[in-house]
Amino acid sequence: MFKPITIKDIAQALNLSASTVSRALSDSYEINPETKKRVLAYAEQNNYKRNPIALSLKQRKSYSIGVVVCEVANSFFSQAIDGIESIAYKNGYNIIITQTHDSYDREVMNIKHLANRSVDGILISLSAETTNFDHIKKLHDAGLPIVFFDRIYDGLATHKVSSDNRNGAKMATQHLIEKGYRKIAHLANAPHLSITKERLAGYREALTENGIPIEEANITYCHHGGSNQKEVDAAVQYFLSMDEKPDSIFVASDRLSIGCLTAIKKYGDKAYMPAIAGFSNSDVLDLFSTDFSSIRQPAFEMGRVATDRLIQLIESKYPVYEHESIVLGTELIERIPGKLL
Amino acid sequence: MFKPITIKDIAQALNLSASTVSRALSDSYEINPETKKRVLAYAEQNNYKRNPIALSLKQRKSYSIGVVVCEVANSFFSQAIDGIESIAYKNGYNIIITQTHDSYDREVMNIKHLANRSVDGILISLSAETTNFDHIKKLHDAGLPIVFFDRIYDGLATHKVSSDNRNGAKMATQHLIEKGYRKIAHLANAPHLSITKERLAGYREALTENGIPIEEANITYCHHGGSNQKEVDAAVQYFLSMDEKPDSIFVASDRLSIGCLTAIKKYGDKAYMPAIAGFSNSDVLDLFSTDFSSIRQPAFEMGRVATDRLIQLIESKYPVYEHESIVLGTELIERIPGKLL
DNA sequence: TTGAAAGCGCTAACAG
DNA sequence: CTGTTAGCGCTTTCAA
């Protein structure tokens, strides 16, 4: 069942040796054009396909790259994957996608699994829970090419691709300020994530520049990135329980935005309805006239750039010592309530 | 760089033969417990990992399964992928995801690529453009296990997993009727897709049962599944141009729902705003109080079931001649406008 | 220009 | 209980 034709079969059929066939197939210069033509013709006819597994074994290369994200059912990441795929395929690689669901344990498992599966390199966006990086360091030290995107770890000498989180956060906060809000809460992601720190910095910057005092009590972290709705609910309930409730919330991520809106819908009332602005790549938001302006990251492009760099690393003949930190711009999408829909 | 330890290394270090080590590692019964312990200990210490590629070559098995969907940035499919992943990983398989973007050519490419990559089996949800199935038939005939999900092809003797599209469509249409709408248009997917036919049947059934005449002019197809927004725009503009405009629209898919809302937002006006109901697995919709009730498919479960069946096929010792067509239930989610948000 | 042989890492039939 | 041998499909010296 399903036994494809091999180089040996061709050799036998054409009365040649396997090595000659191999050479003909890889278009070696030192081969009789006549023979080459015969081999190619026969291969074509019997639609011979190189066995990539044998090739991998021989060349110690799998032509596949691993991708580690928290979840694919997330606008930002699914768009990023589109970008990753586009570059990977163009270069003859396929991608193996794994999801951490923002759990450290699953991240460790997945990365081990990928390394074990002998991928040629890995693209990582860290899980919200990750604070120990040994599982990644070990592989990196062993020579496995790794590129971070979105959720970066700075302690590793490799390429990093992110978006301008600080400025995005600043724009969002500034946007709320311009709309007249003053008591702006911040629903933040897990505290150790790179994006959390950067977005927090942007939030602070906007407030400071506008002479609004920063109150730590207005900032709440979601240690699991909102992968459990309960923690988002708790955060929102906390905001709602404050003596002086926030008039608006700057939300740090796609996942949290959805979670935050859900929680507000659940616990809020007509009398109190904070404005919301935050990071999100969801297209669906465009359809509604909520008071939810968002910061959009160039997800597709980030995926492309990260993959491009990873393949560079993989295919480089010599060890690469210079590493880029690439930061792409973010975009504010203002949404005005009260229009159609 | 990155040269992992092999069975030979262990053999040498322990003064054993490679086969003994291999046996010890695979916990063969016919091995001295003492030796086994030594080998295991050494392997553990030097964190030996089986080379899966060598294993694949030997066993003609890659422990990976290919997945073909139109796009991951789609609530239904990303949820289905979650389900696929959960079962695949539990059984030691990893998944290679490819996107067709609803193009026939890309589907052919991707499937070839997967077969070529020697996956052990493929899960397919057809592209909207596909009308010729030779590329799939060929592989199936050659013995490659294939399971269809969601967008089925009936001409192949294999397992198929779908949701109750007919009844889902009927519920949605019935829902519109109950809300008082009478001129209900149908924005359909590509005509040859299984889901299109089934959903159309449900739509017709609801109308008929309610004594509403079926008018073909009220039905418009999107031949590329809405992967190009222009075709959705055209369809909506057509509805808007009708002498007697539809008072509501039943939309056939997730992608089309988004597209339809987008188009209406673009071309509609306050005076005319049709009600909409349709298939969608988007969680975001729950957050808004649009007049958009939706039919939700059990995406995660569909992914699980399909993968389970595929692995059964893969691991079956004997050819399987009995094939299931599994149909899972759909759910109507009513949304009432005018609430919070 | 072609062939023979070795080897990538692993398993399995066979022999002891 | 353990070792020898062969082979999965392919590439690549080395020799002819």
Residues of A in contact with B340 (CB under 8 A): 264-265, 268-270, 273
Structure tokens given for B138: 């060929």
Average pLDDT in chain A:
90
pLDDT of residue B142: 84
| Backbone φ, ψ for residue B253 (5° rounding) | -155, 165
What region, left, alpha or beta, does residue A213 occupy, with left being phi > 0 and alpha being psi -120 to 50 degrees?
Answer: beta
- Among A4, A94, A284, beta carbon nearest to B117: A94
pLDDT of residue B340: 37
- Among A53, A78, A85, beta carbon nearest to B62: A53
**pLDDT > 90: percent of chain B:** 62
Average pLDDT in chain B:
90
Task: Provide the pLDDT confidence category of residue B339 given band limits of 50, 70 and 90.
Answer: very low
For A95, counting Cβ atoms within 10 Å of its Cβ (0-12 exposed, 13-18 middle, 19+ buried), the class is buried
Q: How many of the other CB atoms lie within 10 Å of CB of B266?
A: 12
Q: Is the pLDDT of residue B95 over 70?
A: yes
- Per-residue flag: A19 CB under 7 A of strand C: yes
Lowest mean pLDDT among A178-182, A270-274, B13-17, B182-186: A270-274
pLDDT tens column, A32-75: 888 889 999 999 988 888 898 999 999 888 888 999 999 988 88
Residues of A in contact with B284 (CB under 8 A): 258, 282, 284-285
pLDDT tens column, B144-156: 999 999 999 999 9
pLDDT of residue A89: 86
Q: How many of the other CB atoms lie within 10 Å of CB of A289?
A: 16
Return the HEC string of A110-130.
Answer: HHHHHHHCCCCEEEECCCCCC
pLDDT of residue B317: 77
Q: Using CA atoms in the order B118, B123, B125, B126, what is the torsion angle rounded to 10 degrees?
A: 40
**Mean pLDDT, residues B223-251:** 93
Mark yes or no for CB contact B116/A52 under 8 Å. yes
Q: Fold identical between A62-163+299-328 and A165-296?
A: yes
pLDDT tens column, B168-217: 999 999 999 999 999 999 999 999 999 999 999 999 999 999 999 999 99
Could you give the strand order of the β-sheet that contains B275-279, starting from the edge strand earlier in sequence?
Answer: B219-221, B184-188, B248-251, B275-279, B292-296, B331-333
> Which nucleotides in chain D lie closer than 7 A to a protein CB?
1-13
Between B67 and A4, the higher pLDDT residue = B67
Domain ranges across chain B: 62-163+299-328, 165-296
> Which nucleotides in chain C lie closer than 7 A to a protein CB?
1-13
CATH architecture of A62-163+299-328: 3-Layer(aba) Sandwich (3.40)
Q: Is the pLDDT of residue A270 over 80?
A: no
**Interface test mutation site (partner B, options A3, A137, A288, A317, max chain B beta carbons within 10 A):** A288
pLDDT tens column, A148-158: 999 999 999 99
pLDDT of residue A174: 96
Q: How many of the other CB atoms lie within 10 Å of CB of A40?
A: 16
The highest-level CATH class for domain B165-296 is alpha beta
Mark yes or no for CB contact B273/A2 under 8 Å. no
pLDDT of residue B341: 40
**Mean pLDDT, residues A267-280:** 84
Cα angle for residues A317, A323, A328 (degrees, 5° grid):
125
Residues of B in contact with A49 (CB under 8 A): 115-116
Q: Choose among A39, A44, A3: nearest CA to A23.
A: A39
Cα–Cα dist B67/B121, whole Å: 9
Q: How far is B211 from chain A (nearest CA, A)?
A: 30
Q: How many of the other CB atoms lie within 10 Å of CB of A22?
A: 17
Lowest mean pLDDT among A28-37, A186-195, B75-84, B128-137: A28-37
pLDDT of residue A82: 92
- Per-residue flag: A50 CB under 7 A of strand D: yes
